[in-house]
Amino acid sequence: MNIISNNSQTIYHTIKKILNKYRAVFTKKSFQSFFWIIISIISFDQVQSIRFIWKHFISKYKKDSLNSLYYFLSYSSWNLNDLMIKTTEIALSLIPENLADEKIYLIIDDTLQEKFGDKFAGCQSFFDHVRRNNSSYLKGNSFVALAISIPVSAGEDEINYLSIPLGFRLYKKEKSKLTIARELILNIIKLIDDKQAVILCDSWYSKGDVIDTVEEFKNIEFVGAVRKDTAFFDLPPEHNGKRGRPRKYGDKLSLKDLEYEKTGDYYIASKIVKTRLFDDPVEIVVTLKELEGFKSPRVYINTDTESESLKDCFLSAVRAKNYSDQKNGSTMSEVPVLKEYRLRWNIEIIFYELKTFWSFGNYMVVKEKGIEAYINLLATAYTIVKCYPFMIENKEEFINLSPQQIKNNLSRYLREELILGSFVSDFENTKIYGNLKDCLHSFISFRDAA
């Protein structure tokens, strides 16, 4: 394999250089298993199982047995928290210097994966609100995930946000999802102590341990949806100077009594209030389509009351998204969402891509550690591919491609390089080998010229 590893221009060498950033997480032997599993995931459109990638790929280039891969997943001593820390360090290193003061976003959510049989750790029946098969329940595993969105340059004075998964943890009844989410955040908290971070989540995570984490760290803010029956209060009146403890809350508010403004197809209201979720005042924004009947209001909370008004964010989002269809003269609009809260949807895109294109549900290991290891290695491969255009010079043509398109390009080059490397290693005549080596070096480096 020297023909590949000694040529710094090959895709194989480039990915190996990136994966070496994870070297400290593993022992020498386990790093080799990690390396070839990641290379295999990138090289195949579908990973049907660990046995599949060993039989059709790894066994051709590495002499270790199939059992060594299962041992690496379920029994090896490497730590998922260390893997997550390295991924976070890589993500933060991609932030340009001119955007170093921009906020970063930590997105929390969970996802379900259907599995058949009772042998998989954590396998149970879960309520699934998106089921469309005459049942609202799904039997399988649930994973709590933490993703990060970092600012990257997108031309002059434009900022895009690159969202990548940092870690997945298998949910079991012994520990709540809120506690798991907090542990994921605390695992990387020291890496972001010099950053202004914002936690984004839906209404399920807007309570308990997640809120406690926001209260504990001064550099963490919160933008999230909350239940419409959450209690809100006016700001407390000034203390009148009389004996006794001053009021902590003002009068209780009704969402119906807020001042709504019609913007596009939606009514929007914004107000600084007190709530039992946080000690300090917060800003709430309520949106709904019809005031009459007050059906299905959506309520959002922002803990940064000194920043740009959330109401202004809503208004700008609505005006940007409302447009006229010139063809049939109809007015089309989308439900307005917060400028920052919109980034929460990126974790849903990550879930969709991992499940549809990255074989998220194809794990056949049954132990908790093995399942978590497989899912997190898959997420690592996804992260490396998605970050590839930002980590390698002169790869700007990849920036606007989806992770699947980037993987297809890398896969084609990787397999080509590995096949050529194996072809050369079969030659025993040193003169023939030397000549072929020089020719193939040129072919691999300048493949487009062929």
CB neighbours of residue 275 within 10 Å: 18
Q: Is 254 helix (H, G, I), strand (E, B) or coil?
A: coil
- Averaged pLDDT of the chain: 84
pLDDT of residue 434: 58
Name which of 51-65, 119-133, 208-222, 339-353 the model is least confident about.
119-133
Predicted local distance difference test score (pLDDT) of residue 429: 46
Look at 420 and 294; give whichever has higher pLDDT: 294
pLDDT in tens, 344-377: 999 999 999 999 999 999 888 889 999 999 999 9
Residue 359 one-letter amino acid: S
Q: Determine the pLDDT at residue 337.
A: 41
Distance (Å, rounded) from C-alpha 38 to C-alpha 315?
Answer: 44
Residue 425 has pLDDT above 90, yes or no: no
Residue 394: the pLDDT is 73
Mean pLDDT for 185-192 is 96
Euclidean distance between CA atoms 449 and 442, whole angstroms: 10
The answer to whether domain 81-355 has CATH 3.40.50 is no
Whole-angstrom distance, CA of residue 87 vs CA of residue 145: 14
Q: Which residue has the tokens 């040129």?
A: 442
pLDDT of residue 3: 40
CB 232 within 8 A of CB 253: yes
Q: What is the pTM of this model?
A: 0.85
Question: Contact, 155 vs 163, CB < 8 A?
Answer: no
Coil, strand or helix: which one is 127? strand
Of 33, 145, 141, nearest in space to 78 by CA: 33
End-to-end CA, the chain: 22
Phi, then psi, of 108 in degrees rounded to 5 = -115, 135
* 379-410 pLDDT, tens digit each: 999 999 999 999 888 777 788 899 999 999 99
Beta-bridged to residue 113, according to DSSP, are: 141
Distance CA 407, CA 414 (A): 10
Tokens linked to 247: 């009021």
Six token digits for residue 286: 């309520």
pLDDT of 16-29, one tens digit each?
A: 999 999 999 999 99
Residue-range domain boundaries for the chain? 2-78+401-449, 81-355
pLDDT for position 22: 96
152: which strand partners?
160
pLDDT bracket for residue 222 (50, 70, 90): very high
